[in-house]
């Protein structure tokens, strides 16, 4: 069994790469892929895809076409919505991934893309709009927060907007890649799981990078969780 692992930044893969035995490196269309054995027993391919939906979809497509993984894990950090009950350093697993921006903006506000009658994917007679179901691994069914994740193109930087998105999708956290990975995996009929650790609580923030120590701690923890449970 081959496990595909997709992360957006090198800092979310460094511990995994240290544990990857018999490592080989391949660059495809400017994206790095690393193959080898994790924990001495699990065949894995790690893709550092880059930030955002387009990079995630590109990386996932290359991963699936070239390496044919049996299961894909998308891991990284996330921002928790104010009402989620999550704290910095908490782990969460996606039950569903939502595209947070695809839809229509009118005077009455934002509407998801189903109001336009434009499914993003149609598979076996089922139309998928903003929502894509995720696979929750057995190891994470107990003791780990689970819920809806939202993928956004712009990080949410105000408390008001955070509450609005949280309510719209009944969501617990947001990221910038998950829905795109889920989308590509759905097209290829490959199960996909998403595990993230909270690096910040969404609220009013300045236009500058997040606190580096919190991001680093979250990046290390999510990798360790995967290593312990893959």
Please write the tens of the pLDDT for every residue from 87-141: 999 999 999 999 999 999 999 999 999 999 999 999 999 999 999 999 999 999 9
Cα–Cα dist 173/128, whole Å: 21
Backbone φ and ψ for 114, nearest 5 degrees, come out as -65, -25
Fold of the domain built from segment(s) 2-229: Rossmann fold (3.40.50)
In 3D space, the residue among 228, 229, 230, 227 whose CA is nearest the CA of residue 18 turns out to be 227
In 3D space, the residue among 34, 41, 32 whose CA is nearest the CA of residue 16 turns out to be 34
Helix 178-187 × helix 53-67 angle, to 10°: 40
Q: Would you kindly state where each structural domain of the chain is located, as residue ranges?
A: 2-229
Q: Tell me: the pLDDT tens digits for 53-101? A: 999 999 999 999 999 999 999 999 999 999 999 999 999 999 999 999 9
Hey, what are 119's tokens? 């499914």
Confidence category of residue 210, pLDDT binned at 50, 70, 90:
confident
Cα–Cα dist 81/161, whole Å: 10
Hey, what are 227's tokens? 């290593």
The whole-number pLDDT of residue 192 equals: 98
- Tell me if 230 sits within 8 A of 39, measured CB to CB: yes
% of residues, the chain, pLDDT over 70: 100
Arithmetic mean of pLDDT, 207-212: 84
Backbone φ and ψ for 151, nearest 5 degrees, come out as -100, 125
Q: How many residues does the chain have?
A: 230
Strand 91-99, strand 192-201: pairing: antiparallel
């Amino acid at each position: 069994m081959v496990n595909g692992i997709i992360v957006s930044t090198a800092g979310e893969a460094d511990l995994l790469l240290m544990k990857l035995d018999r490592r080989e490196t391949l660059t495809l269309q400017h994206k790095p892929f690393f193959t080898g054995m994790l924990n001495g027993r699990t065949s894995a391919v790690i893709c550092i895809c880059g930030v955002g939906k387009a990079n995630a979809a590109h990386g996932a497509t290359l991963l699936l076409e070239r390496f044919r993984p049996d299961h894909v894990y998308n891991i990284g950090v996330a921002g928790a919505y104010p009402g989620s009950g999550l704290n910095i350093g908490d782990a969460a697993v996606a039950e569903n991934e939502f595209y947070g921006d695809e839809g229509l903006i009118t005077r009455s506000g934002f509407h998801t893309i189903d109001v336009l009658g434009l499914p993003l994917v149609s598979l076996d007679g089922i139309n998928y709009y903003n929502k894509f179901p995720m696979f929750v691994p057995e190891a994470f069914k107990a003791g780990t927060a689970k819920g809806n994740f939202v993928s956004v193109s712009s990080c949410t930087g105000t408390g008001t907007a955070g509450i609005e998105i949280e309510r719209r999708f009944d969501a617990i956290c947001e990221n910038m890649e998950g829905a795109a990975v889920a989308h590509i995996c759905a097209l290829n009929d490959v199960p996909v799981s998403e595990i993230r650790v909270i690096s910040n609580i969404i609220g009013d923030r300045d236009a500058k990078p997040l606190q580096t120590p919190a991001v680093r701690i979250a990046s290390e923890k999510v990798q360790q969780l995967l290593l312990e449970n893959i």
